[in-house]
Each structure stands twice: as structure tokens, then as C-alpha cells.
Structure 1
Amino acid sequence: MNTALRQGWEAYWDEIAKAGETALWDSPSATAAAIHLRRVEQHIDPALPMIDLGCGSGRQTVRLAESCNRVIGIDIAEHALAIARRDNAAANIEYRRIDLLDDTEVAALAAELGDANVYVRGVLHQLLPDAQQRAVWAIGALLAGRGHLIAHELTSVTRWVVRSIIESEGAALEKFEPLQRHFGFDIPTVPGEERQLDALLTRQGLQVVASGDDSLQTTQLGADGAAIELPTAWALARRPHVVHPR
């Protein structure tokens, strides 16, 4: 992982913890993981370990643990994991600091777990194109033969929506402020129009089983008092089945 990005996330989660706040995307799991799981439940084997990649505070992780036998929440920020262990613990959840772009760490996790499902919500868009490709390769290694990826990502459209919201509502958007301060809003995004998330996954050898448009309900209230929603793209993917000739 880019060192500056890792340091940025440590600083962000440290600030969130000290302020006793929630992150912009820490919406109730009923509006996120619960919906995502229902959408793909016919494809997912709950007996396989579920990896919550970029688990943050663990708010979605604990919902995954209600449907899956074993869940491993991973993040690069120890401050995020400390919040998760404190606020969203369960008997079948483990939280670990793992860098998805560290080949050694990923290989060790893949060897330990075998086939696994992966849930990723708003992680790939943070990475530069080369790192996005490496991340998807790493996810493929974790899926192995029977696992599925459930991906929900911001899109290039999201960036313009955020800028428009900030211009119209400005300083009232306190949840956006620390993100803008630590990261800005020019981080490259996985372009989501016309199924470009699908294209990212298929270029790295994954098979997209289903996909579509979605939205992320944030913890930020707009001027009208309603939670602000941001456009996202979603995809369910797996490694292709290989039929060996006799």
C-alpha cells in the first residue's frame, strides 16, 4: 500500500476515534451489507470464510457475521481496527491489519483460509490504476476456486456529485471535511459508468456474475435533513471455472 495513503487513513481514523464520530460511509448495515447479502445470497456459500476488505469500524462486518460462519475484517489502519474490536466484536469475527497490496501477507491469508468470499465496499476507488489491478489480482487469490467477490465502489460520477454537494452546502457537511482535509477529492476513481467496474474485474481474470448501479447512504445529513446518498456501482464476481480436458 502507498505509505502516504496508509498514514492518511491512520490519521483519519485516529481523528474519528478521538472525536467519537462516525465515518461518512458508516451507515447502518440495514442500508448496506444486509441489502448486499440479500442481493447475492443464492450465489454465496456461508460456510466459506468471509473477508471484509477495508472493514474500517466494523459496522458492516458485524452484519456479515450474522450470515456467515466466519468473518475476517481486514484494514490497513490500526486505529480503525481498534474501533472495530471495541464496538463491533462477535464470536465469529477476527480483525487483522493486512495490506492487500503486500503479496506475502495476501499469500499467507489465502493459504490459511483456502476458498473465501470477499466483501469490499469503497476501497478500490482509492487506488491508482496499477494498484487497482494488483488489488483485484490479490482478491482473486483469496477467492480461490469457490469464493465470490461482492464489490461496491464509488465511481467517477460520485466525485462530481460530491463536489456539487460541497459547493451547494459547504461548511455544513462536517462528515466530508476530514476526508477532504486528509485526502482531497481528486483521488482516482474506478469509473462506474457503462459497467467500468465490471471491466476492471474482468481485465484481471474475474468473471462478473451480476452487476448494476447502486447508491451509498452516508451518515451526513443534507440541508433537508435526509441522509445524503452517493452513486455507486456494484458487481458480484468469481474466478472462472476451468474445465480440464480428459
Structure 2
Amino acid sequence: MSVSERYRQAWESYWRNTSDVPGDAIWDADPSLSAAPHLDLLAPHADPSLPIVDLGCGNGTQTRHLATRFERALGIDLSRAAVEHARRADPAGVAEYQQLSLTDAAGMRELSRRLGDANVYMRAVIHQSDAPDRRAVAEAVATLLGRRGRGFVAELTAESKAVLGELAASPGGPPPKLRRVLDHGLRPADAADKEIPEVLAEAGLEILAEGPTALAQTEQWPDGSRVELPARWFVVSRA
């Protein structure tokens, strides 16, 4: 299975039209608001001596933080432009980056052979994947975990779609960072809440812990407060 050309081109054009300025992407929050608290939830379950793979790494902001907590960090993204952003932002090479589709089962198996059992960090990828691809994305997590790896998965809830709708209805229309997401045909919060745990189970994953959270964005409300999108987190292992 491979992702649709529409989906691939949407992400490629989005990242080509995104600058290297930190926070230019609406979800490019500082790791202190994102990967750091997420890793605190994963830490009780995960072996830090295993590598960690950031699936859907984008420009690598979170990947570079993962590298401070694990011996090896690798960011994977569908978009070549995103991987180029990540490498430019990491001249010291604290993490590694590779272009690979999460729906490329053979590619994920080859990556797993290369890394061995690994931990996984995946923030807000399933919910905006095309519906036929969601199980394959979850199966990529299962492939990489192997027997000893543990994964952290955070996904937007349906409630976040209403928040984005409210933001889009701001006076003057959607703020610039959200407008770019919509203009490139990306579809945030597109999966139903019950679908996420179902897809994880179908992929052979067991949920070890879960809870509500909110994903910090780099956009602001008209009053200057930070936009946060309701989400749910899961720590998973192979069943």
C-alpha cells in the first residue's frame, strides 16, 4: 500500500512553502510544550537505551528533543521538503532524518531490521491520514516496536475540529498559519474518536496507558492566548 499522490503532494507543497523560522508551521510548538511532557508519560514504560523514531517528524523540532532523552533519535517523514528542513535545522546532527512513507510496509520492515526494537513517538499523524491509510500507519508503529519497544501516540479528538472551526471563523477569516493548512488541502481532526483505539488494536497494539491532553499550537486567539487542540494520548506496546 502507498499513500495517494494527492496526499503526498499536499504535504510536499506545504513544507516547500514553509520557512525555516521556528513556529512557522501551526503545530511546530516548542518541545517544552510538546515532546517533553509527552516523554514524561512514556518514560515509565520505555527503555531509553533503545532508539526512538519520530514518525511524521516534519521539520524535526520534536526529534531533536527526543535525542536529548534517548541514545539515538531518527525522524521519518513522507515529505522530502520536511526532511530537508529538519536537516538544515540540525547542523550538528544530533538526530537522523529519512524520507519514508509510513504506509510503505517493506520500507518500515527494512528500517526495523536496521534499528532493532525501537521506541516510537507519533504526534497527530493518524487523524489527518487518508482513511484507507490509517491502519497501515498504526502497523508501522507495531513493526518498529518489536518486542521491547514502547510507543507514544497522540491524536486530535473530534472536539478539536470544533476548535479549529471557531479559529477559522475569526474576524478576518482563518489566521495565516491555519489558512496555509487549509489551502494545501490538509485535513486536521478527520478521524472519529473511537477509530483511533480501534485502529491501534487492529494493528496488533496493546494500550498500556492513556489519557486526555491538548496539543499546543503556534497560532493565537484574537485575545493573544495560545491555541490548544483537544487530543488523547496512548502509550502502546505490541500485543
What interval of TM-score do these two structures reach, taking the shorter chain for normalisation?
over 0.9
Aligned residues: 237
2:77 is the alignment partner of 1:75: yes
- Matched residue of 1:175: which SS? helix
Q: How far apart are the structure 2 equivalents of 1:104 and 1:226? A: 44
- The Cα of 1:130 is off from its aligned counterpart by 2.7
Which AA in structure 2 matches 1:9? Answer: W
Distance 1:140 1:228, change over 3 A: same
Moved over 2 A (4+): 17-21, 88-92, 168-172, 187-192, 195-200
Q: How far apart are the structure 2 equivalents of 1:140 and 1:83? A: 27
- 5+ residue gaps in structure 1? 241-246
Report the identity percentage: 34
Equivalence map 1:78-227=2 (5 Å): 78-171=80-173, 173-183=175-185, 185=187, 189-192=190-193, 196-227=195-226
Which AA in structure 2 matches 1:218? Answer: Q
Deviation per residue, 1:63-122 (Å, 9 max, x gap): 100000001101011111111111135544111001111122111101111101110011
Deviation per residue, 1:131-170 (Å, 9 max, x gap): 1111111211111101111001112222122112211344
Deviation per residue, 1:11-53 (Å, 9 max, x gap): 0011112888610000100000000011221111111110000
| More helix per residue | 1
Partner of residue 41, structure 1: 43
Partner of residue 243, structure 1: none
Q: Which has the higher contact order (CA 8 A, sep 6+)?
A: 2
2:49 is the alignment partner of 1:61: no
Deviation per residue, 1:195-241 (Å, 9 max, x gap): 6532321232211000111101110011111111111111000002x
Distance 1:169 1:27, change over 3 A: farther
Distance 1:65 1:169, change over 3 A: farther
Partner of residue 230, structure 2: 231
Worse-matched range after superposition: 156-165 or 226-235: 156-165
Which AA in structure 2 matches 1:190? Answer: A
- 5+ residue gaps in structure 2? none
User: Which of the two has higher C-alpha Rg?
Assistant: 1
Worse-matched range after superposition: 161-170 or 119-128: 161-170
Distance 1:19 1:208, change over 3 A: closer
Q: How far apart are the structure 1 equivalents of 2:30 and 2:23? A: 14
RMSD of aligned alpha carbons: 1.9
